[in-house]
Structure 1
C-alpha cells in the first residue's frame, strides 16, 4: 500500500467515524468509547470489564448509562429517526459491486438464550443448536433477526466478512419471517441505500422458503431470492395447454406434472447444466455439477397465489474423481422477475456466501459479547445487540488500516497479507489504530459522586414473567410450509 492510498484510507476512516459519532445521539461520547472498547477487546469476558479498557476513559457506571440511553424505546417518537440515522451510517460502508452485477444480502436469525432471567419479559422457547447428539435444540430466551450485506471477494480477500445492516428482536407473538420481511422492506427502499433501483440478490436457508415469505419478496421488481429448500418438497411444472383448443368448464389448470425432490423418476432433463472442478484448501480435487430446471411452481393458497410466480430450481452436487457424492446435494429455488439475469454459477457462488453470516454470529458471540449482557429490561438488551453490530462495522471500516500481528505460534500469518485480514486480526490491532488516529469523543469531565440510594429505602421486587409458549400451527399454516 502506497502512502497516498494509506492517507486516503485514514481520511475515509476518520470521516466515517465523525459521521457515526454524530448519529449516536444521547451520550454519544460514552457510546463512542464503548464501541472502541468493544472493537479492541481481547480480554474482557463481561460487559462491565469493558470499562477497564484504556480506550474507555470513563467509569463503569457511564458504560451502563450509555447502553441504556443509546436508543430511545421503540414507542418513543424519536426512535424511527435514530434508526434511520444509524442505517445511513452503516449503509455507506457497503462497497459497490465490481466483479458481479448485483448487490448481495443475507438474512438469518440467531438465538439469545436467557434461561435464568426470570424477570425478563417476552421470553419464549427458541431454537438453539445443541452439540450433544440426541438432545433437543431448544432453549429459553429471545431470538434476533439480522440482515447483512455480503461484500464480494475482491473487497475481503476471500475472508468471511458480513456488514450487518439491521438487527431486530423477534417478539414472542411473531415469527422470524415476519420480522425479516419488515427489515428487508425498509432496507430495499431506504433513501440513503446505494442499491436502490439496482439488482439485488437475497440468500437464505430453508426457513425462508415458506409461501408467506416468498409472496412478499417477489413483489420487489429488482430483487432475486435464492433460497434453499428441503429435499422432501414437491413442486410442479407449469401447465402448458395443448395446441387444439377445447372448451371446458371449470377452473383453468395451473399445475402440470409433479416434480418430487425425493423421487428421481419425476425429474425431467434439466434445462441447464454447469460443470467444473475445484480444489479444496487441503488439495483435494472435486467435481461440481449444477443442474437447473426453469418454470417450476409451488402450490399456493387463496392468500398466496404462488402460481403467478414461476421459479428456477437448482440442484448442486459435489463428487470426487470416482463419481461418489462427497456431501449431500442441495436444492435451491431462484425466484424473482429478473432471475434469468443470473447464471447457474452466479447463483451457486451467491448462496455459498450465506455461510458468512454463520461466521459473523460466531465472532459476535465469542469476541463481541453479543449474548453476554444480562439485564431485566428488553430495550436495554436490544440496545446492546445494536451496539455489537456497530462494533463489527467499526472493525470492517478499519480493516485497511490494520497490521497483522501474529502470535508466536501463528507462523502461517505474515504482515504482508493486508487484503486477507480477518475480523479477529483487526480487533487485535484496533487499539493501536485508535490510539494513533484519535477519537471524536470528548474527554470526560468529573462532576463528583452521586449521593446514591437513600438509607433505608427499599425497591419493589421486579415482576417475574412466565415463559411464553407459541401456539402450534393450524392446518392452514402447516400447508404453507409444504
Structure 2
C-alpha cells in the first residue's frame, strides 16, 4: 500500500495507522495526537488532499489475500448506499437531497448532502470472527446527475470485469435492498455477466407477471412475455408455489426468528422500460421468493413477509437456503457503515472541497481494510466489564477489538513511513494578503418542473 501513494506517502501512511489505532478520536484533526502520527497536524489535511488516494485500488491490494469460498459455491457481494450529511456546507459543490432516516415521524426522511455507494465482499466467517466483518472493495460518490443504483452497477461491473481478481468468470452473487430491484440496475449488471446472480428485495406493492417463453417459430410481431399478473399485495392473484422449504434456526440471544418458511415461484418477470432507453426485461426472467419468519410461539416476527427476486442465468444453482443466507448477510453492510461513522470518522470530515471529501471516504475504506488484514494477529483484549459477556468468553474478534489492539501491532512490526525531518520555517503569506471568499453553491433539487 505504501508504495502506491504518489505524494506525501509518509504522512498518508501515518494517517492510516492513526485512524486504525485511535477509536476515541472525535474529529479528523485529533488523529494528529496519536503516537503513530509523527507529523504536525497540518499534514493531516495535506495527506488527504495530495496523497493520490484514487489511484490506490482496494481490489488490487486485497485480491491476492482472499481465499476462495469453501462452504459456499459462489462469491458473495453486497452493494448499498449511505448519505453524507452536509446541510450547512454552503460552499460545498453538488449537494442534493438524499435519503436520511429521521426519528421524528412527521418529518420527511431526507437531508442535504452527498450519497456514497459502497460494494463489499461478504466473506465466509471463521470460528472467531464476528458476523459484522466485510471486505470493502469500492466506494464512489453518486453525483446529483447520476442514478444512485447505476453507480453501484458500474462498481459491480468493474469488479467482475477485472481478470486479475480471484472471482473472474466464477459464480458471483450480489445482494441489495429494494432499490436494486429496478429494471435499470438489473439490465446494467446482467447484460454482460452470465456468471452473476442478483438477489434483491422488492416492495410488497409491486405487480409482477408469470413469464411466457418465446414461441419456437419466429413470429411476425413482437411476442408477449407477460402472463397472468401476480400482485404481491393481493393474495387472490397468487398461484401455488413451485417449491417450499422450512428452515429451523438455532436459538440465539438476540434472534427472534425460530422457523423460516421459504416459498418460490419460478419463471417470473416484470415490466420493462422504454425511456430514456429501452430495457427488455423479457431477457431476464427470475425466481420470486417469499420468506416468512416465525417465533417460537408460531407467530410471524414481521408484519409483512419478505419478497425477493433471484435474477441471473445461473440462478438455479442457488438453493432456497442459499438465497435466505445470502440475503440476510446483507445486514453486515449496515454494521460496516455504523462502525465507519462511529469509530473511523467516516462522515466527520468537514471540508468545503468535494474531491477531498471523496478522498476521505477512500481513506476510511483503506483503514477498515487494514483492520481486516490485522485480524489474524489480534489479541483478544476485552475491557474489565466486558469479560463476562458471552461473545468475549468465546473470544469473538470484532472490528472494534482489532482497532483497540492495532497500536500494539504497529509497535511490534513498525511502519514503512519515515520519520519527519524539520525543513525550516515557512515564510507564510505576505503581509496584506487576503484570500478571496469561497463561492457558494445552490442545493441541487431533482424534481418535476
Following superposition, the deviation at residue 24 of structure 1 comes to 2.4
Does residue 1:41 correspond to 2:6, yes or no? no
CA displacement, residues 344-380 of structure 1 (integer Å, 9 cap, x when unaligned): 0001100111000000000000000011111111111
SS of the equivalent of 1:452 reads coil
CA displacement, residues 377-412 of structure 1 (integer Å, 9 cap, x when unaligned): 111111111000000001001111111211121123
Following superposition, the deviation at residue 249 of structure 1 comes to 7.3
Counterpart pick for 2:204 among 207, 231, 255: 231
Following superposition, the deviation at residue 213 of structure 1 comes to 0.5
CA displacement, residues 70-128 of structure 1 (integer Å, 9 cap, x when unaligned): 227xxxxxx6xx244x4310333433211101100011111001111111111111111
Indicate conservation of the 8 Å contact 2:214/2:225, yes or no.
Answer: no
Cross-structure match for 1:306: 281
When the two chains are superposed, the root-mean-square deviation of aligned CA atoms in Å is: 2.2
SS of the equivalent of 1:164 reads strand
CA distance in 1, matches of 2:19, 2:84: 19
> Is there any run of 5+ residues in structure 2 with no aligned partner, and where?
none
TM score, norm. by length of structure 1: 0.87
Change (3 A) 1:221 1:442: same
What pairs up with 1:344-363 in 2 under 5 angstroms?
344-363=320-339
Following superposition, the deviation at residue 433 of structure 1 comes to 0.9
Indicate conservation of the 8 Å contact 1:202/1:224, yes or no.
Answer: yes
Cross-structure match for 1:120: 92
Indicate conservation of the 8 Å contact 1:238/1:296, yes or no.
Answer: yes
Does residue 1:367 correspond to 2:351, yes or no? no
Cross-structure match for 2:294: 319
Cross-structure match for 1:407: 383
Number of aligned positions between the proteins: 442
What pairs up with 1:287-298 in 2 under 5 angstroms?
287-298=259-270
CA distance in 2, matches of 1:370, 1:181: 23
Following superposition, the deviation at residue 471 of structure 1 comes to 3.0
Cross-structure match for 2:414: 438
Cross-structure match for 2:359: 383
Following superposition, the deviation at residue 264 of structure 1 comes to 1.0
Q: Using the TM superposition, name which of 362-371 and 157-166 deviates more.
A: 157-166
Following superposition, the deviation at residue 156 of structure 1 comes to 6.2
Following superposition, the deviation at residue 258 of structure 1 comes to 1.0
Does residue 1:96 correspond to 2:68, yes or no? yes
Indicate conservation of the 8 Å contact 1:200/1:224, yes or no.
Answer: yes
SS of the equivalent of 1:409 reads helix
CA distance in 1, matches of 2:92, 2:309: 39
CA distance in 2, matches of 1:259, 1:98: 37
Does residue 1:137 correspond to 2:118, yes or no? no
Indicate conservation of the 8 Å contact 2:7/2:50, yes or no.
Answer: yes
Following superposition, the deviation at residue 181 of structure 1 comes to 1.7
CA distance in 1, matches of 2:205, 2:311: 19
Does residue 1:209 correspond to 2:181, yes or no? yes
Cross-structure match for 1:278: 249
Q: Using the TM superposition, name which of 48-57 and 405-414 deviates more.
A: 405-414
Cross-structure match for 1:50: 31
Change (3 A) 1:61 1:158: closer
Cross-structure match for 1:260: 231
Cross-structure match for 2:169: 197
Change (3 A) 1:431 1:321: closer
SS of the equivalent of 2:386 reads coil
Indicate conservation of the 8 Å contact 1:240/1:256, yes or no.
Answer: no
SS of the equivalent of 1:153 reads coil
Does residue 1:30 correspond to 2:11, yes or no? yes
Does residue 1:447 correspond to 2:423, yes or no? yes
Counterpart pick for 1:64 among 20, 45, 54: 45
Following superposition, the deviation at residue 267 of structure 1 comes to 1.3
Cross-structure match for 1:332: 308
Indicate conservation of the 8 Å contact 1:205/1:228, yes or no.
Answer: yes
Following superposition, the deviation at residue 65 of structure 1 comes to 0.7
CA displacement, residues 311-356 of structure 1 (integer Å, 9 cap, x when unaligned): 0010000113443211131010000000000000001100111000
SS of the equivalent of 2:364 reads helix
SS of the equivalent of 1:92 reads helix
Indicate conservation of the 8 Å contact 1:114/1:140, yes or no.
Answer: yes
CA distance in 2, matches of 1:416, 1:285: 24
Indicate conservation of the 8 Å contact 1:122/1:468, yes or no.
Answer: yes
Change (3 A) 1:240 1:372: closer
Change (3 A) 1:32 1:416: farther
CA distance in 2, matches of 1:351, 1:98: 18
CA displacement, residues 160-188 of structure 1 (integer Å, 9 cap, x when unaligned): 11111110011111121121122111111
CA displacement, residues 118-147 of structure 1 (integer Å, 9 cap, x when unaligned): 111111111111122222111111111101
